[in-house]
Structure 1
Amino acid sequence: MRDYDGKTAAERAAERRTRLIDAGSELFGERGFAATSIRSVLQRSALRDRYFGESFADLDSLLAAVYTRLIDEEVVACRAAIANASGASEGARAMIDTLTRSLDGNPGRARVKLREILSGGPVSRQQRQAGLHRLAQLVADLLPPNSTRSKTDTHLLGLAIVAAADELLLAWMDGEQGLTRSTVVDLVMLMFDAVAQRMSSGRPPT
């Protein structure tokens, strides 16, 4: 049943949830997880107190939702970039180029993805692992088959590349070692191409 504004109760609840995620994304990016309160999220989203509990158990759950949406966006963008590339190496470069461009000039997004997600509780940490594995699968799908390695091994190699990329992205965001966006892309590609070459040779990566 639809109410006076033409929306069902479920649709209005979904809109409120989106507003809370929007507010959380802004506040976690601006202040950090530790400095954000439920009240500040409600104030930023212009919602009443009772509506937070309607969607989230606590701030940890909200941080997890903020991170999950960020990863959803990255996965969609990376898939599109890979689809437009020619070959596995170009696809990998398109993927890391897309990821770095999404963070370049967007310090709040970078802060949530690379730092604040580590400050949350068990729910957000679990979502971070899930997010890394989703990106890792995109990398694994670009690696050549290797008769000495299982699909699990290939996925773990993708995970290793994604985890290393995250550390490089964090160092870049922090201004370490004079890293630039293009340098990060090149360093990640050195890892990917080295693993891909070893895989294509039929030898197990060591």
Structure 2
Amino acid sequence: MRDYDGKTAAERTAERRQRLIDAGFELFGEHGYAGTSIRAVLRRAELRDRYFAESFPDLDSLLAAVYSQLIEEEITACRAAIDAESGSSDGGARAMIAALVRSLEGDPGRARIKLREAAAGGPVSRRRRQDGLHKLAELVASLLPPSKTRSAKDQLLLSVGMVAAADEWLTIWIDGEQNLTPRDVVNLVMTMFVALAEPDATDATHD
């Protein structure tokens, strides 16, 4: 049943939830998780107090939702970049990390949420961050050529390590440390990817 504005109750609830996520994205990016309150989110979203509990039990859950939206946007961008590469798996991997770099370049709020705040929140957002790392790792693993010396599980776990390393290099670049540039980040990640992609009959995971 639709009311006077032509929207159902479920549609209005979904819109309010998205307004809270958008407000959280802005505030977590500006002030961090510790510097953000539910009341500040409600003010930024221009919603009354009762509407927060309608969508989220606490601020940690809102941060998890913000991170989920961020990671889904990244995965969509990475898939599009990979699909645009018709060459080798190396080309797809390079396109993927370049897409991640572009998503953070010039957007300090997004970088802060991805690289710091998701890990600094509560258990819900920290778990969501782990899920996000695994989703990106699945993309990396899909680019690796089949291995005679590693199981699919090993390929995925190694890819998780590569994604975690990429996050660390992205953090160093964003923080302006060690004169690291976006090109350096891409090249570092590619060095690791090429090493993982090369077949090795004496792979240490099966020693």
TM bracket (short chain): over 0.9
1:39-58 superposed matches below 5 A: 39-58=39-58
Q: Distance in 2 between matches of 1:178 and 1:148?
A: 37
| Residues 112 and 90 (structure 1), Cα distance of their counterparts in 2 relative to 1, 3 Å cut | same
Please tell me whether the aligned partners of residues 28 and 109 of structure 2 are also in contact (alpha carbons under 8 angstroms): yes
After superposition, the C-alpha distances for 1:60-108 in whole angstroms (9 at most, x for unaligned) are 0000000000000000110010011121000000000000000000000
Please tell me whether the aligned partners of residues 25 and 66 of structure 2 are also in contact (alpha carbons under 8 angstroms): yes
Equivalent position amino acid for 1:41 in 2: V
| Residues 108 and 164 (structure 1), Cα distance of their counterparts in 2 relative to 1, 3 Å cut | same
Per the normalisation by structure 1, the TM-score is 0.97
Please tell me whether the aligned partners of residues 149 and 200 of structure 2 are also in contact (alpha carbons under 8 angstroms): no
RMSD, matched Cα: 1.0
**How big is the shift at 1:203?**
4.2
Partner of 2:118: 117
Q: Secondary structure, in 3 states, of the residue corresponding to 1:178?
A: coil
**How big is the shift at 1:201?**
4.2
Partner of 1:83: 83
Please tell me whether the aligned partners of residues 195 and 205 of structure 1 are also in contact (alpha carbons under 8 angstroms): no
1:24-63 superposed matches below 5 A: 24-63=24-63
Partner of 2:2: 2
| Residues 134 and 188 (structure 1), Cα distance of their counterparts in 2 relative to 1, 3 Å cut | same
Q: Percent of pairs identical after alignment?
A: 66
**How big is the shift at 1:147?**
2.0
Q: How many residue pairs are counted as aligned between the two chains?
A: 204
Q: Secondary structure, in 3 states, of the residue corresponding to 2:178?
A: helix
Please tell me whether the aligned partners of residues 172 and 181 of structure 1 are also in contact (alpha carbons under 8 angstroms): yes
Structure 2 unaligned residues grouped into runs of 5+: none
After TM superposition, what 4+ stretches of structure 1 lie above 4 angstroms from structure 2? none
**How big is the shift at 1:55?**
0.3
Q: Distance in 1 between matches of 2:14 and 2:122?
A: 24
Equivalent position amino acid for 2:79 in 1: R
Q: Distance in 2 between matches of 1:159 and 1:107?
A: 24
Please tell me whether the aligned partners of residues 92 and 142 of structure 1 are also in contact (alpha carbons under 8 angstroms): yes
Equivalent position amino acid for 1:79 in 2: R
Aligned: 1:73 with 2:73: yes
Partner of 1:152: 153
1:131-146 superposed matches below 5 A: 131-146=132-147
Structure 1 unaligned residues grouped into runs of 5+: none
Of the structure 1 ranges 41-50 and 142-151, higher mean CA displacement relative to structure 2 is found in 142-151
Partner of 2:195: 194
